[in-house]
Structure 1
């Protein structure tokens, strides 16, 4: 975080309040002020929103966000009808490999808006909900850099990472050593591979909205199998 502030869970309440005061736009101020920052809230009562980004690469300094998909949900259900999807025009030209990988065409990108043009809608969709992602370094680093470049405001907030939940179970040192002794590869914690472990069907990957829905379903299954609806969100978020 900015100013050397750590990313410990106990810091988030003060961090969000500080950012609400420092935000450079009304939309960001409203977003930070309305973030559900009570770490003791049971996850079963929490309003959640799954977010997925498709990017032209893995490094925010050299690559860009191509699309954003979001879907609101709770542990009781998923708001499929409220899902949103934005295709964005990146500041850099992106490769044909990115087109094939993300099922986004050059013509779609050429006609797409810049993130600055849709940021108010994105913030409004997330407002009042705790974001859930699969592999948080992508969403956290890309969104922070993109929003900071356009507004001058740091864009950091608590989120729940379904990949981290899988890693806590399948990437423990003793488990890795055992699989190595058995000459087995580490279990994959990619989104579809994780879903399959819970009996969820695979989705065609690398489409932002579908991956957001897949992430929402995965968290519901993870809570059912490993936690409970009374688990505090502060025990889950990063």
Structure 2
């Protein structure tokens, strides 16, 4: 109870600008080719879900069955207390770039306006979802309701014949795709979108042609992987 009351004291009131953001749409049974989806990748100061913070957002849009290059989002967020650490060697975002970044609340509002009511896709989505939810809550008092689909789950679900790949690099190599610059938010979002389009093509051939059913199958697949083997 003490921890709950402490959290409630820290949570900011909802920024009134959030009231202008569109409500999230539920996953439905429209064909995949008629959906608008936002493929997102985040760069963070580390992998600790509670202590590390959001440094950069990159996103591209899949609409009408293709990547729409006219709809892209990229920004670096200002984090006053950020210092270089082990993750800097991976994503390459220097402390000077973070210091010159946009104010987090402004960047997050702009990103959510870009997302509109669309579902989100990411590779290893639970991490991105948690970090985005936390940033939105801490900066804006905003609760994220947009559904996330995990491309890292869709890939083995739809490609059971493939080796047990774990990372994005593995799946890119499997389908002979290339990322222009790995661990760069926009480049990783684009590579994930290219992978997603291949997977959607496979899904249609398997009789899965809408997001609601695809998410249901993905959740069932994940439960099977977590179930103890007999």
**Shorter-chain TM-score: what band?**
0.7 to 0.9
Question: Which residue matches 1:222?
Answer: 199
Question: Which residue matches 2:107?
Answer: 118
RMSD (Å) for aligned C-alpha atoms: 2.6
Shift of 1:225: 2.1
Question: Post-superposition, which runs of at least 4 consecutive aligned residues in structure 1 deviate over 6 A?
Answer: none
Question: Which residue matches 2:177?
Answer: 200
Asked if the contact 1:52–1:70 (Cα under 8 Å) also holds between the matched residues in 2, the reply is yes
Shift of 1:193: 1.2
- Give the unaligned 5+ runs of structure 2: 1-12, 220-230
CA distance in 1, matches of 2:64, 2:167: 21
1:51 aligns with 2:40: yes
Deviations 1:68-127 (A, max 9, x none): 001112263212232121101235423343222112112111111231121221111111
**Equivalent position SS for 1:236:** helix
The alignment's TM-score, normalised by the length of structure 1, stands at: 0.75
1:233 aligns with 2:211: yes
After TM superposition, the structure 1 = structure 2 runs for residues 54-133 of structure 1, keeping only pairs within 5 Å, are 54-74=43-63, 76-90=65-79, 92-133=81-122
Matched length: 203
Change (3 A) 1:59 1:88: same
CA distance in 2, matches of 1:38, 1:97: 38
The alignment's TM-score, normalised by the length of structure 2, stands at: 0.77
Change (3 A) 1:74 1:192: farther
Change (3 A) 1:63 1:38: closer
